[in-house]
Structure 1
Amino acid sequence: MDLNLRGKVAVLTGASVGIGLAVAEGFAAEGVNLVLAARQQDRLDAAVAQITASHGVEAIGVACDVATAEGVTRLVDAAVETFGGADILFNNAGTGSNETIMNAPDDKWQSYWDLHVMAAVRLARGLVPSMKARGGGAILHNASICAVQPLGYEPIYNVTKAALMMFSKNLANELVKDNIRVNTINPGLVLTPDWIKTAKALTQPSGEDWQAHLQQVADEHAPIGRFATPAELADFIVFLCSERASYSVGATYFVDGGMLKTV
C-alpha cells in the first residue's frame, strides 16, 4: 500500500530509542524526512547516521528537553530552519513513574505534567502554523493503555497520560477545520529497552531469568501472550499519519494485544 508520504517532514520526540526510533525507521522507509528529538546527542547522531544510510532521506537530530519551553522552541526552530516546518508530529517523549499519591511531592507531579502534557501543548502551538501553511498535516500522541486502565504503582503516569488523551481530543476538534488530523495511540506492552533494563534489575538479585520474568508479565496482562515489538507499533503509527487514514480524527486507538479489559 502506497501511503503517499514521500517527501513529507515528520518531527518525532523521544526518537533515539525504542518506539520513537522504530517509528522514525518506519517513516524513513516511506521516504519521510525527519527531525528527531531526544536529550542525548550521541544517540541522535547514531540514529540519524543509521537512518540516512539505510533509506536515503534527510534527517537531523536535535538534542533538547521537550519538557521545557526552551527545549520545544529549539526543536521547532530547527524544523522550520531546516525544512520550513513539518507535516507530521509524533509526540512520543515520556517515561513511567513509581510512587503513591500520598508520598509523591508536588515537583514530581509537575515534571510529569510538563513532559507528558505541556510538551504536546507547546509543540502544537509551535508547529501547527507551518502545518497550516503546508496545507494540513497529522499529529499523533503516544499515550498509554494506562490512560484508561491504570497500573497501581504509577498514579502520576496514569493521570498525566489520561490528560494527554483528553488534550488530543480537544486539539483534534480545534484543528480539523485546518485539515490537520489529531489522534491518540494507547499501546499496551511494548518490548522497549526500558522494559528489558527493568526486568534485568528486578531479577538480578534472585538470579531469575529476565526473559522468563517478561513472559510472566505478558501472560498476566496480554491475552496475546507476548510483548509487541516497537516495529509492530510503528507500522500502525505510520499508517495513522498517512492519507490512508484520512477519516480518522479525534480517535484513540488501543494497540495492546487484548490487554484492555473493557469494550
Structure 2
Amino acid sequence: MDLGLRDKVAVITGGSIGIGLAVAEGLAAERAGVVLAARDAARVEGEAARIADRFGVKTLGVSCDVATADGCAALVKAVADRFGGADILINNAGTGSNETVMDAPDDKWQAYWDLHVMAAVRLARGFAPQMKTRGGGVILHNASICAVQPLWYEPIYNTTKSALMMFSKCLATELVGDNIRVNCINPGLILTPDWKKTATQLTAETGGDWQGYLQSVADEHAPIRRFATPEELAHFFVFLCSDKATYSIGSTYFVDGGMLKTI
C-alpha cells in the first residue's frame, strides 16, 4: 500500500533510540526523508547515516537539546537549511520520572515541563509556518497512557504528559485551517531501552532476571500480557502521518494492549 509519504521530510525528536528511532525507520521505509534530533551527536549522526544507507533516503542527524529554546531554534534552522522545511513533526523526546509531589523540587517540575510541553510548543511555532508554505503537514505528539491513567511513582511525568495531550488538542484546532493535522498518541508498555535499563537495575541484587521483572509488569498492567516492540508502535505513527489518515484530526489514540481501564 502506498501511504503517500515518498519524499516528505519528517522530523523526529528523541530520534536516535527507542520509539523515535523505530518511527524514523518506519517513515524511511516509506521513502520519506528523516531528520533525527537528539543530544548525543555521535549517536544521532550515526543512526542518520545508517538509515540513509539502509533505505536510500535523505537523512540528517541534528545534535540539540529540545528542552531549551536555543535547541529548538537550532533544529528548525537546520531543517530549513538542509531541506527547505518539514512536512511532518514527531514530538517524541521525553523520559520517565520517579518522585513524590511532596518531595520533588521546583526545578525538576520545570525540567520536565520544558522537555514534554515547551519543546512541543516551540517546535510547533517553528515548523508550522514551514508546513503551511509546503501546502500542509502533520504533527504528532507522543504522550503516554499515564496522561489519563497515572502511575503513582511518577506524578511529574503524568502531569506533563497530560498537558501535552491537551496542547495537542488546542494546536489541532488552531492549525486545521492550514491543512496541518495534529494528533496525539498515548502508548502503553513499549519495550524501550529505558525499560530494559530500569529492569536490570531493579533486579541486579536479586538474580538479574530483568525479563521476568518486565513480564510481571506486563502481567499486572496489560491484558495482552506483554510489552509492545517500538516497531509495533511505529506502525501506528506512520499510518497517522500518511494520506490514509486525512480525516484524523485533534484526536488522542491509545496503543496500549488493553491497558486503559476506562471508556
**Fold in common (TM above 0.5):** yes
Q: How many equivalent pairs are there?
A: 263
**Pairwise CA distance, 1:34:** 1.1
The reply to whether residue 89 of structure 1 matches residue 89 of structure 2 is: yes
**Structure 1 SS opposite 2:191:** coil
| Correspondence for 1:4 | 4
Deviations 1:229-253, CA, capped at 9 Å, x for gaps: 0000000100001110000000000
Amino acid in the other structure paired with 1:103: D
The reply to whether residue 62 of structure 1 matches residue 41 of structure 2 is: no
| Cα distance between partner residues in 2 of 1:249 and 1:133 | 20
| Correspondence for 1:169 | 169
Of 46-55 and 172-181, the range deviating more from structure 2: 46-55
Deviations 1:118-173, CA, capped at 9 Å, x for gaps: 00000000000110000000000000000000000000000000000000000000
Amino acid in the other structure paired with 2:151: L
| Correspondence for 2:126 | 126
**Pairwise CA distance, 1:76:** 0.2
Q: Matches of residues 100-139 of structure 1 in structure 2 within 5 Å?
A: 100-139=100-139
- Does the Cα contact within 8 Å between 2:45 and 2:62 map onto a contact in 1? no
Q: Matches of residues 25-44 of structure 1 in structure 2 within 5 Å?
A: 25-44=25-44
Amino acid in the other structure paired with 1:168: S
| Correspondence for 2:192 | 192
| Correspondence for 2:249 | 249
| Cα distance between partner residues in 2 of 1:198 and 1:52 | 31
| Cα distance between partner residues in 2 of 1:35 and 1:53 | 14
| Cα distance between partner residues in 2 of 1:42 and 1:208 | 30
**Pairwise CA distance, 1:85:** 0.6
Q: Cα RMSD over matched residues?
A: 0.5
| Correspondence for 2:221 | 221
Amino acid in the other structure paired with 1:165: M
**Pairwise CA distance, 1:209:** 1.0
| Cα distance between partner residues in 2 of 1:45 and 1:171 | 30
**Pairwise CA distance, 1:27:** 0.4
Amino acid in the other structure paired with 2:244: R
- Does the Cα contact within 8 Å between 2:10 and 2:32 map onto a contact in 1? yes
4+ runs of 1 displaced by more than 3 Å? none
**Structure 2 SS opposite 1:199:** helix
| Correspondence for 1:77 | 77
Amino acid in the other structure paired with 1:140: L
Deviations 1:61-96, CA, capped at 9 Å, x for gaps: 000000000000000000000001100000000000
Amino acid in the other structure paired with 2:6: R
Amino acid in the other structure paired with 2:86: A
Amino acid in the other structure paired with 2:16: S
**Pairwise CA distance, 1:208:** 4.2
Gap runs ≥5 in structure 2 = none
Amino acid in the other structure paired with 2:178: D
| Correspondence for 1:159 | 159
| Cα distance between partner residues in 1 of 2:178 and 2:132 | 6
| Cα distance between partner residues in 2 of 1:135 and 1:14 | 26
**Structure 2 SS opposite 1:34:** strand
Amino acid in the other structure paired with 2:21: L
| Cα distance between partner residues in 1 of 2:214 and 2:107 | 31
Normalising by the residue count of structure 2, what TM-score does the alignment of the two structures yield? 0.99
Gap runs ≥5 in structure 1 = none
| Cα distance between partner residues in 1 of 2:151 and 2:212 | 21
| Cα distance between partner residues in 1 of 2:123 and 2:50 | 26
Amino acid in the other structure paired with 2:81: E
Percent of aligned pairs with the same residue? 72
Amino acid in the other structure paired with 2:114: D
